[in-house]
Structure 1
């Protein structure tokens, strides 16, 4: 015969073990490494040095670096864009500040300039900084311009209007 004490102890054990998966789930989630994008990017000194080296005033450099989510990446973006494309440092700063991926904005802008342009073109920087996926956008511009014989302006417009719509990207399933 089962007595009341046995039933209560079994019920207590069931409740205790039913919470085990939940507890293990929280413990495991705490151990998972989160992406470290910019984890060590808190170098404000380097940001200010990079910006002032490109010709940005100290006042503007300190304000921009203080407000940047990833100051080291912001400084590198401005240096890369201004040195590799000939775009003015203040224009480069505006474009790099606008994006949440300044390193990709620099890559996008530099790639378009190297592949397609002989002179600085601020609209390439503006379009790269407006894109959600700047590196992919840069590849789109270069490839469309080369293969479809589009002008740079036409390729910039086509790729920015195309956006990223996974449901229209081949292959469909």
Structure 2
């Protein structure tokens, strides 16, 4: 009887030992690391979203981490304000695709367009300065104090810079296929003459919404 009891004990230990070892091998992570709502809220606050607004958005998001990732990508790569980015990311089902669309258009088209415009403006200012140097400068007024003109602050994220980016944000949000939309915009803006980025966005979006208007002869009766 004692031998049978000892055999049963050893058999139970042999069966339960692998299960115990497997349980012990599973890493125990802190609860905060798995709380995607906390990750979402903290990331949005870090990107400049008000805490109250971040809490409401993350609590209502289907996948909170994707919402905060969308806002973070847009904030890092574009001059779009955090509230505008959050509003767009919150309204789509695939926020990460939206962010990639906006970032790609901004990097491939809008940044190059802004850089070219700045070069043209700098060249025009240089020519104007060279022309003004030919004329005899007027003596300074007696009432003007040296250093009286305060330097103006350099603009960061002006309306002119934000406007095309906001158009890109809206067109990517309205597109059913943001990845395809960004490829279309980049291709048209780079390869079609006299096509501005904003025009390319409108063309690609309208073709996506009403493709049969481009080829009415192929409509089904």
Q: Could you tell me the TM-score, scaled by structure 1's length?
A: 0.69
Instruction: Name which of 151, 154, 160 aligns with 2:205.
Output: 160
Aligned length: 130
Please state if 1:148 is matched with 2:192: yes
**Structure with bigger gyration radius:** 2
Q: Could you tell me the TM-score, scaled by structure 2's length?
A: 0.55
Alignment of 1:39-118 (within 5 A): 43-118=36-111
**Which of 1 and 2 has higher RCO (CA within 8 Å, sep 6+)?**
2
Runs of 4+ aligned residues of structure 1 deviating over 6 Å after TM superposition are 164-168
**How far 1:64 sits from its partner (Å)?**
0.3
**How far 1:117 sits from its partner (Å)?**
1.1
**How far 1:166 sits from its partner (Å)?**
9.0
Could you tell me how far apart the structure 1 residues matched to 2:209 and 2:84 are?
Answer: 26
Distance change >3 Å, CA 167–CA 122, structure 1 → 2: closer
Instruction: Calculate the aligned-residue CA RMSD, in Å.
Output: 2.3
Secondary structure of 1:56's counterpart equals: coil
Unpaired stretches in structure 1, ≥5 consecutive residues: 1-40
